[in-house]
Structure 1
Amino acid sequence: MALSGQQAVLAPSLRIVDRAYFAWATVAIAYAIAFLQRVSPQTVGLSFMHDFGTDASGVALLASSYFWGYTLMQIPAGLLVDRYGVKRVVLCSMAASALGSAAFALSPTLLDVFMARLIVACGDALVFTALLKLVAQSFADERFGVMSGISQVSGYVGGAIATAPLASAVSGFGWRACFIVIACIGAANLACASVALKPAAATHTNKTFKSVLLASWRALGASANWGCAMAFASHFAVVTTLSGVWGIPMVAHYFNISPSAAGAPLLAFMVGNALGSIFLGHAADRTTSLDGSLIWICVLRMLLIAMLLPALAHTFGLVYVGTVFAVLGLVAGGTVPLVLKCTKHLYTAELIGVGASVNTTSAGIFAGLAQPVIALAMVTASGLGATSIHTTRPAANDAGYLALIGILLLMSLPGIVGPLLIRRKLILRA
């Protein structure tokens, strides 16, 4: 009888846990799709340039339109999740992403491309904040670090798919067909999420936009919070520009290989991201110097980026470049848990959504402003003249990629300054 009673109690508990993981999985898949969308310009860039008869500035438009849409929705993302709960926000996000992907695949002009990518980004911008909120609500506090790290890994899985696998698919079926398939997968995930996710708890209806806006305004007045934002913005803009916009074209140019073959080092980068997020994220839970760790990891990232200079790549070969990308992935993966840990310490668990919004808004603005500057510098340094619309033109030459790396190193400097602003507040909270 006692055993039967225990089974009766355990059964509903297991069902609740199973539903929590199922619900988490649908949002994690949405985040994987969002990450794929973010880094896909590097994979489709050469085909995109050929189809629209454009150059590096066209790829920059493709990338910056996503960053601007992503940025515009960051502060609203925190407000919407806090006010309406995860389910309603995530379903709207998935719908926008799927519709935007289909529109992108069918776009006849660059203006249509810009608008479609803007819609995709506005939807994708809501996902990570909602995913963090879902983890905080559905799992015990002692599992927050592990589940947030695994949540980040789901994004890296999408990023990995956007490298060699997507490049092969684009070579075989074309970029338009690939994004129609992505739109269909997003729509199917939307249907699953509508069943798996629970409606918002009653406590959400007691919150107002005014209260969360006031909390956001107070957060903007703290220099330590800006330091955290600087650290994340530097990481996000530098890593995404390299791994999500110019990585594959750069490797393809260095070694005169196809985009699908050039995707291998970027795939190694995404695998490194996943491993770094788990193992270095585990170490982040045990470090006593978050600010110092962020500074050292930024310096290491700068060193690795400098190791991708054209002269070094030509001297040491493709395996060398792949190894550098893999180690860079480990470093990049370990950076995010450190920033999330700082965010939780600075904002507390109650306002982590606001903290995530401030960080990602700063990152999106930085990345969006940087793309046209980078494209102009690369085109100017490369000195490439106009070519026929029907001729595949290189995005840049060695001089152009040298300019890219130089700018990425300059963009890394806020990652050193930011942690210095965090230090005093972290000490006071310790």
Structure 2
Amino acid sequence: MKKHIQFRRWIIWSLAVAFYFYEFFIRVAPSVMVEDLFRTFHIGASVFGIISAAYLYAYAPMQLPVGVLMDRYGARKLLTIATLACGIASLAFGIAPKIWLTIIARVIMGAGSAFAFIGMVYITSHWFHGKILALLVGIGNSLGMLGAVFGEGPLSELVHIFTWRPTMVGLGIVGLILGLTIFFVVRNDPKSMEKHGPKKSSHLLKSMKLVCKNKQTWINAIVSTMFYTGTVAFGGLWAIPFLQQTQGYSNEEASFAASMIYVGWIVAGPFIGHFSDKTCNRKIWILICILLSLLFFMIIVYTPLTNPIWIFTLMFLLGTALSAQLLTYCLSIELNTPDTKGAALAITNFLVFVGGSIVQTFIGFILDAMWTGTLVGGARLYSLDMYQVGLSLFPITLIIGFFFTFFIKEKSKPWCS
């Protein structure tokens, strides 16, 4: 490949990752503006919950059309529109005089952000050869997740210095600049790699139908969904109250411990991707890491650990093992034809998100069903036994994922022959 193309592809990939980082940043933004929004709009927790969740209401269903649209129109136009939409929505959020306008702005943010991860993987698969696909997807995911990490402390400081409205306006301007940069720099496919490029479908549903008819798509998506529940439902919600109510951790300690899962993802994701590329085998790494995830989770939840260092370490190790879930996205591409890779990614990501949400909610139902009526400071208190029953869903999902992994028929890779 010519030097100017080699340089350009890294710029294009970096811009896709930058949008993924930006998407994570604006996703968590309301979490550092709680009291400000309460005071500005005279609202309570329930309305604030609607504001925050409005993002997800659009994000989840948009996963399905995103992949098909990528296959039809390519990444350049779609990422440009999506990034500009997020920027405009952030601006609207920052100047909104009424609460319903902030909700609409969050819906638009969610719809635009739905293109970020799939767009990053899509560009990676088009501009780079398969032998480094998993490595770059892992690095891209890690860099994107930093948006969530930095979207807490640094963003909180910006809100403290400038207040929430100017901060959101500033984020909107950043989004507009990024969107315009993507439009002028990003291209869908280099000529030297046209064999990786999408063939234009005569109908938007054609790619989706082809992917849905492939049994391997569903098997891999089930594995991906079962594997991800530990990240989205435990790390994203139940780890903090579990540690607070059963281990006596403060909110700060529990939050730090939960964040170690994401740190583990960030650190290990690229390495696991690289090892799977080098060994030409993704299934074995998924199987090993599911077993390790099961081991670390069982120790955390079912073993009495009083030393915070042990909890922090185990949470980090759990995150490193869970990061192998990224390999299922590489498999979703490799198990389908080149012109349907976007649709394959979309179906996988949609099921992952929906499945994680269901598990997350169902654990709450289990805890409430077992609740004995104990209140502390007006909040419901759940015992260790209750949490151990509710959180048993995670070992179950991991075992299901482990079982289905054996039915994935991994294809031989060109760079391994």
Which interval holds the TM-score relative to the shorter structure? 0.7 to 0.9
Tell me how far apart the structure 1 counterparts of residues 374 and 8 of structure 2 sit (CA, whole Å): 55
Report the CA distance shift for 1:310/1:409 in structure 2 as closer, same or farther (over 3 A): closer
Given that 1:295 and 1:416 are in contact with CA atoms closer than 8 Å, whether structure 2 keeps it comes out as no
- Aligned match of 2:122: 133
Amino acid at match of 1:367: G
Query: TM-score if structure 2 supplies the norm length?
Result: 0.78
- Aligned match of 1:208: 201
User: Residues 152-231 of structure 1: matches in 2 within 5 Å?
Assistant: 152-166=141-155, 178-198=167-187, 207-208=200-201, 210=203, 213-231=205-223
User: Residues 2-151 of structure 1: matches in 2 within 5 Å?
Assistant: 13-38=2-27, 52-54=43-45, 59=49, 61=50, 64-104=53-93, 114-151=103-140
1:298 alignment partner, one of 284, 287, 290:
290
2:307 alignment partner, one of 316, 332, 337:
316
- Aligned match of 1:244: 236
Amino acid at match of 1:275: V
Q: Does 1:330 align with 2:284?
A: no
Tell me how far apart the structure 1 counterparts of residues 365 and 157 of structure 2 sit (CA, whole Å): 29
Given that 2:359 and 2:393 are in contact with CA atoms closer than 8 Å, whether structure 1 keeps it comes out as no
Give the gaps of 5 or more residues in structure 1.
1-9, 388-392
- Aligned match of 2:268: 276
- Aligned match of 2:400: 417
Structure 1 residues 230-259: Cα deviation after superposition (integer angstroms, max 9, x where no partner): 122223343123333455566677656465
Q: Say which SS state the counterpart of residue 84 (structure 2) adopts.
A: helix
Query: TM-score if structure 1 supplies the norm length?
Result: 0.76
Note the C-alpha offset of 1:183.
2.9
Tell me how far apart the structure 1 counterparts of residues 118 and 408 of structure 2 sit (CA, whole Å): 24
Tell me how far apart the structure 1 counterparts of residues 164 and 235 of structure 2 sit (CA, whole Å): 19
Q: Say which SS state the counterpart of residue 285 (structure 1) adopts.
A: helix
Amino acid at match of 2:313: T
Note the C-alpha offset of 1:94.
0.7
1:357 alignment partner, one of 338, 346, 355:
346
Q: Does 1:346 align with 2:335?
A: yes
Given that 2:13 and 2:124 are in contact with CA atoms closer than 8 Å, whether structure 1 keeps it comes out as yes
Amino acid at match of 2:87: A
Amino acid at match of 2:7: D
Give the gaps of 5 or more residues in structure 2.
none
Report the CA distance shift for 1:365/1:193 in structure 2 as closer, same or farther (over 3 A): same
Structure 1 stretch displaced more, 173-182 or 151-160: 173-182
Given that 1:243 and 1:266 are in contact with CA atoms closer than 8 Å, whether structure 2 keeps it comes out as yes
Structure 1 residues 14-50: Cα deviation after superposition (integer angstroms, max 9, x where no partner): 4333332222212111111223445567766788789
Report the CA distance shift for 1:353/1:231 in structure 2 as closer, same or farther (over 3 A): same
Note the C-alpha offset of 1:362.
0.8
Tell me how far apart the structure 2 counterparts of residues 179 and 88 of structure 1 sit (CA, whole Å): 25
Amino acid at match of 1:72: P
Structure 1 residues 207-266: Cα deviation after superposition (integer angstroms, max 9, x where no partner): 1352x523322322344321211122223343123333455566677656465x655334
Note the C-alpha offset of 1:95.
1.8
Structure 1 residues 70-96: Cα deviation after superposition (integer angstroms, max 9, x where no partner): 221112111211111111100111122
Note the C-alpha offset of 1:125.
1.0
Given that 1:225 and 1:422 are in contact with CA atoms closer than 8 Å, whether structure 2 keeps it comes out as no
CA RMSD between the two structures? 4.1
Count of paired positions = 405
Structure 1 stretch displaced more, 200-209 or 265-274: 200-209
Tell me how far apart the structure 1 counterparts of residues 174 and 26 of structure 2 sit (CA, whole Å): 13
Tell me how far apart the structure 2 counterparts of residues 39 and 321 of structure 1 sit (CA, whole Å): 25
Given that 2:290 and 2:322 are in contact with CA atoms closer than 8 Å, whether structure 1 keeps it comes out as no
Tell me how far apart the structure 2 counterparts of residues 426 and 166 of structure 1 sit (CA, whole Å): 44
Structure 1 stretch displaced more, 44-53 or 89-98: 44-53
Structure 1 residues 378-414: Cα deviation after superposition (integer angstroms, max 9, x where no partner): 5674857799xxxxx76x6454x87566545415534
Amino acid at match of 2:409: L
Structure 1 residues 282-339: Cα deviation after superposition (integer angstroms, max 9, x where no partner): 22224576445434423432443444449846x223x333222211221122321x21
Report the CA distance shift for 1:273/1:123 in structure 2 as closer, same or farther (over 3 A): same
Tell me how far apart the structure 2 counterparts of residues 248 and 168 of structure 1 sit (CA, whole Å): 23
Q: Say which SS state the counterpart of residue 347 (structure 1) adopts.
A: coil
Report the CA distance shift for 1:403/1:230 in structure 2 as closer, same or farther (over 3 A): farther
Report the CA distance shift for 1:248/1:32 in structure 2 as closer, same or farther (over 3 A): farther
